[in-house]
């Protein structure tokens, strides 16, 4: 089974989320007990809603548990001059002459709108291991993009 890469901050976030879901499990259980008291379960909307919430919560618990049982911890990059997970850097779009600040993160932490791209994304894969001055071409849904690493942050 492929291990999920996690940074220390992502691990902490997932552990906190897991603990919250476990606590929510008890709240949902109490809600199911309360809804049972409303009578006929076949027409009891509160009961069915609580059972649906329970199913969703248990699914999320199982997903997180699987990740937390088999992950690989990624540390801070040792080489500050080479792009790796957790690296922050500026790139220049060679076609539009625009710069953008990006950070390579794990798939769990990916947030493209915030400049955090996954190491597993096409752009992330192409940028991994690159240094200032190096160029890459990335096939995106909008076509071919030519990028140049201009600064490590």
Predicted confidence (pLDDT) at residue 1 exceeds the cutoff of 70: no
Which residue from 123, 9, 139, 133 is spatially nearest to 74, judged by alpha carbons?
A: 9
Q: What is the pLDDT of residues 81-135, one digit of tens each?
A: 999 998 999 999 999 999 999 999 998 889 999 999 999 999 999 999 999 999 9
Domains and CATH numbers, the chain: 4-73 (1.10.287.180), 88-152 (3.10.50.30)
At 69 the pLDDT is: 92
Q: What pLDDT does residue 55 have?
A: 96
Phi, psi of 70 (to 5 degrees): -150, 80
Band the pLDDT of 78: cuts 50, 70, 90: confident
Q: Kindly report the average pLDDT of the chain as a whole number.
A: 90
* pLDDT at 7 (0 to 100): 87
Cβ count near 23 (within 10 Å): 9
């Amino acid at each position: 089974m492929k291990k999920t890469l996690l940074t220390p901050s992502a691990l902490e976030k997932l552990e906190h989320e897991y603990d919250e879901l476990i606590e929510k499990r008890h709240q949902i259980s109490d809600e199911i007990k309360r809804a049972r008291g409303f009578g006929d379960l076949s027409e009891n909307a509160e009961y069915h809603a609580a059972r649906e919430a329970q199913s969703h919560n248990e699914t999320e618990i199982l997903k997180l548990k699987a990740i937390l049982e088999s992950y690989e911890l990624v540390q801070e990059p040792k080489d500050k001059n080479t792009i790796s997970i957790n690296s922050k850097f500026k790139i220049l779009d060679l076609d539009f002459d625009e710069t953008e600040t990006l950070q390579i993160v794990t798939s769990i932490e990916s947030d493209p709108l915030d400049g955090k791209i996954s190491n597993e994304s096409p752009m992330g894969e192409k940028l991994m291991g690159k240094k200032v001055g190096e160029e890459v071409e990335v096939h995106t849904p909008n076509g071919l993009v030519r990028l140049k690493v201009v600064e490590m942050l």
